[in-house]
């Protein structure tokens, strides 16, 4: 057991050490500046999506459902026979149609969708044209594949960091500082879709020709943001 004098000395050193650590932790940091930079790259869409649908109306809901199912199954079988095209079922809805006075149900109407996606635009365009003989065009869109987007984002990281460092150095010099310390840095990806120029002109009738129509997929702008805080050393 320590003598009282030695114990008091040890406690004094311990207290002094804790006070020093606390003072250091609470030490104010001056000349901190928040900065933000953004770099971007225009990327061509490499995926095409098409939505087709079948719609009908009958008084007998069971007969209507059977009709829709037959048309839908035939379309799914046809689409699944084309290599490189991803096929899935979309939404399917049935709702009543009321008489003119709205007093009773006069019929039922049902709609079901088939969704197609492919990186082979020519193959999907040809398939779409063939399927439009029995189905209707619901919509067409384009996007960037996940693997393509990741590759572009990875390439932009170095550019974003370089742009941040350049702005940090410029800010330091503008404030008359000698150097700076990096306090924090966050990297966030984003972007927006730039629609194809001729998408408005792309109607379902364009697929009715024997020749496969040309499609303009358009591009998206992939961005990388670098947001951080530096501490300028004067």
Predicted confidence at residue 199, as pLDDT, reads: 42
Mean pLDDT for all residues in the chain: 85
Distance CA 58, CA 110 (A): 9
Q: pLDDT at position 155, please?
A: 92
pLDDT the model gives residue 194 = 57
Please tell me whether residues 36 and 66 are part of one structural domain: no
Looking at the domain assignment, is residue 152 inside a domain? yes
- How do beta strands 105-118 and 179-194 pair? unpaired
DSSP 82-131: STTEEEEEEEEEEEEEE-TTSSSEEEEEEEEEEEEEES-HHHHHHHHHHH
Q: What is the pLDDT of residue 10?
A: 47
In a shared domain, residues 54 and 114: yes
pLDDT of residue 29: 65
Q: Are residues 65 and 77 in the same domain?
A: yes
Cβ burial of 54 (10 Å; 0-12, 13-18, 19+) is buried
Number of domains making up the chain = 2
What backbone phi and psi angles, to 5 degrees, belong to 72?
A: -65, -45
- Which of 105, 127, 143 terminates a domain? The answer is 143
75 within a domain of the structure (yes/no): yes
Q: Does residue 114 sit within a domain?
A: yes
pLDDT recorded at residue 27:
59
Residue 93 included in any domain = yes
Please identify every stretch of the chain with a pLDDT value under 70, giving residue numbers as ranges: 1-29, 191-214
Give the structural domain span for 104.
47-143
- If asked whether residues 64 and 126 sit together in one domain, one would say yes
pLDDT tens digits for range 79-124 = 999 999 999 999 999 999 998 877 889 999 999 999 999 999 999 9
Are 73 and 161 in the same domain? no
Residues 121 and 157 in one domain: no
Angle between helices 61-80 and 121-131 (to 10 degrees): 150
User: Are 55 and 133 in the same domain?
Assistant: yes
Q: Is the same domain home to 85 and 126? A: yes
Residue 188 near residue 213, CB atoms below 8 Å: no
d(CA 125, CA 145): 18
| Inside any domain, residue 16 | no
The predicted pLDDT at position 9 comes to 47
Domain containing residue 181: CATH number: 3.30.110.70
């Amino acid at each position: 057991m320590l003598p009282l004098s030695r114990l008091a000395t040890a406690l004094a050193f311990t207290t002094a050490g804790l006070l020093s650590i606390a003072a250091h932790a609470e030490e104010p940091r001056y000349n901190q500046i928040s900065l933000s930079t953004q770099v971007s790259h225009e990327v061509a869409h490499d995926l095409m999506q098409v939505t087709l649908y079948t719609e009908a109306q009958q008084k007998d809901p069971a007969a209507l459902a059977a009709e829709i199912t037959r048309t839908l199954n035939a379309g799914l079988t046809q689409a699944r026979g084309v290599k490189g095209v991803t096929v899935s079922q979309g939404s399917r809805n049935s709702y009543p149609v009321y008489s003119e006075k709205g007093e009773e149900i006069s019929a039922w109407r049902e709609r079901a969708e088939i969704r197609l996606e492919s990186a082979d635009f020519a193959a999907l365009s040809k398939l779409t044209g063939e399927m439009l003989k029995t189905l209707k065009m619901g919509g067409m869109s384009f996007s960037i594949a996940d693997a393509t987007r990741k590759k572009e984002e990875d390439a932009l990281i170095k550019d974003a960091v370089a742009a941040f460092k350049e702005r940090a150095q410029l800010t330091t010099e503008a404030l008359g500082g000698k150097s700076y310390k990096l306090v924090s840095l966050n990297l966030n990806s984003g972007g927006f879709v730039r629609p194809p120029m001729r998408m408005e002109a792309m109607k379902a009738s364009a697929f009715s020709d024997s020749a496969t129509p040309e499609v303009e997929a358009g591009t998206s702008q992939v961005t990388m943001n670098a947001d951080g805080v530096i501490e300028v050393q004067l």
